[in-house]
Amino acid sequence: MIEEDVTFKTSRGLKLSGALLAPDERLHDIVVFAHGTGSDKSSPRNRGIAEGLLSAGIGAFLFDFTGHGASDGLPEQSTQDQQFDDLTSAIDFLNAQAYVETRFIGVNGSSTGGTVAIRAASEDPRIQVMVLRVPRIYEGTLEFAQMIQAPTLIVQGSKDRVVMPESVEIFHALQCVKGLHIVDGAGHLFSEKPEYQREMTKATCDWFTKWFVKLAEAE
């Protein structure tokens, strides 16, 4: 495994901190992670998924949103609009790197990061596969969800009573190829039992692996 700490700038000039993880020097498919509010690129759930993807030969790009982790800005600056710019800038950064031979790009969005991912995927055809973990609804989210074309999986804990109705509503709004994976007994962070996080991680990695293969076969 290769891991490199990087920095990049958003279109608004803020410097963000990221970590690029690759299974080898030739990086083809990659998943960009959009973490939730109050989290950062060191999230144990996202790191666990990243490691699972690496085992399947898929790269991972984790970064800190504005006002989080080691990135510029204050937490109150990290609005949905700013995070949308952050995520789009992260994809721009990857595409601009000569050493990153990107074939397909996926996005893994969690909680409010999932909300940002929905908007990004509705507007950016570079996002070709997506997994949303306990995504939240903000103004416009359901309208954006209807425009997504990338195959999208929603992973949700059954005991996350606040978010589960929102996840189900987003699932019904999606018009693309879609899936809904409910981890029975899990809460918002899937942290109650180790097997909950393992199930969530496997469902996520399996979705990306399956659809990256299908996209390659369709070329």
pLDDT at 2: 86
The pLDDT tens digits for 103-136 are 899 999 999 999 999 999 999 999 999 999 999 9
Q: How many separate domains does the chain show?
A: 1
Q: Are strands 2-9 and 15-22 parallel, antiparallel or unpaired?
A: antiparallel
The span from the CA of 186 to the CA of 196, in Å, is 6
| Residue 101 clears pLDDT 90, i.e. is over it | no
User: What's 175's DSSP letter?
Assistant: -
Which residues, in sequence order, are bridge partners of residue 18? 6, 63
Q: Which of 97, 80, 123 is nearest to 7 (CA)?
A: 97
The pLDDT tens digits for 57-84 are 999 999 999 999 999 998 899 999 999 9
What is the residue range of 214's domain? 2-218
pLDDT at 24: 79
| Residue 95 clears pLDDT 90, i.e. is over it | no
Let me know: does 170 contact 145? Beta carbons within 8 Å: yes
Amino acid (one-letter) located at 45: R
The span from the CA of 130 to the CA of 126, in Å, is 11
The span from the CA of 81 to the CA of 142, in Å, is 16
pLDDT at 198: 97
- Alpha helix stretches (DSSP H) within the chain: 44-55, 80-96, 112-123, 141-146, 164-173, 194-218
pLDDT at 106: 97
pLDDT band at residue 187 under the 50/70/90 scheme: very high
For range 20-43, the mean pLDDT: 89
Which residues, in sequence order, are bridge partners of residue 7? 17
For range 180-192, the mean pLDDT: 97
The span from the CA of 7 to the CA of 9, in Å, is 7
User: What's 64's DSSP letter?
Assistant: P
pLDDT at 100: 67
The pLDDT tens digits for 152-166 are 999 999 999 999 999
Which residues, in sequence order, are bridge partners of residue 110? 133
For residue 45, what is the domain's CATH number? 3.40.50.1820
pLDDT at 102: 74
